[in-house]
Amino acid sequence: MKEVIHEMISEKQIEEKIEELAKQLNRDYEGKSLHLICILKGGVFFFTELAKKIKVPVTVDFMEASSYGNATVSSGELAIDKDLDEVIIEGKHCLIVEDIIDSGNTLSLVKKMLMARNPASLKCCTLLDKPDRREVEIEVDYKGFIIPDRFVVGYGLDYAEKYRNLSYIGNLEFIEE
In a domain, residue 71? The reply is yes
Please calculate the CA angle 96-99-101 and round it to the nearest 5 degrees: 80
Report, as an integer, the average pLDDT of 136-151.
95
The percent of residues in the chain predicted with pLDDT above 70, rounded, is 93
The number of domains in the chain is: 1
Say if 28 falls within a structural domain: yes
The answer to whether 60 and 39 are in contact (CB under 8 A) is no
Q: Is residue 169 part of a domain?
A: no
CATH of the domain at 77: 3.40.50.2020
Per the domain annotation, does 77 fall within a domain? yes
pLDDT of residue 87: 85
Alpha helices by DSSP H, the chain: 11-28, 44-53, 105-115
Task: Share the mean pLDDT of the chain.
Answer: 92
What is the mean predicted confidence (pLDDT) over 57-75? Answer: 74
3 in a structural domain:
no
Task: From the candidates 61, 81, 102, 141, give the one annotated as an active-site residue.
Answer: 102
Reported as a pLDDT band with limits 50, 70 and 90, residue 70 is: low
- Per-residue confidence band for 177, with pLDDT thresholds at 50, 70 and 90: confident
On whether residue 80 sits in a domain, the answer given is: yes
- Name the band, by pLDDT with cuts 50, 70 and 90, for residue 79: confident
Provide the pairing of β-strand 2-9 with 79-82. unpaired
Q: State the average pLDDT over residues 43-61.
A: 97
Q: What is the pLDDT of residue 144?
A: 98
Say whether 149 is catalytic: no
Report percent pLDDT > 90 for the chain.
Answer: 77
Nearest alpha carbon to residue 96 among 63, 118, 133:
63
Q: Whole domain around residue 20: which residue ranges?
A: 11-148
Residue 177 maps to a domain? no
| Whole-number pLDDT of residue 157 | 95
Q: pLDDT-derived band of residue 105, with 50, 70 and 90 as boundaries?
A: confident
Residue 153 lies in a domain: no
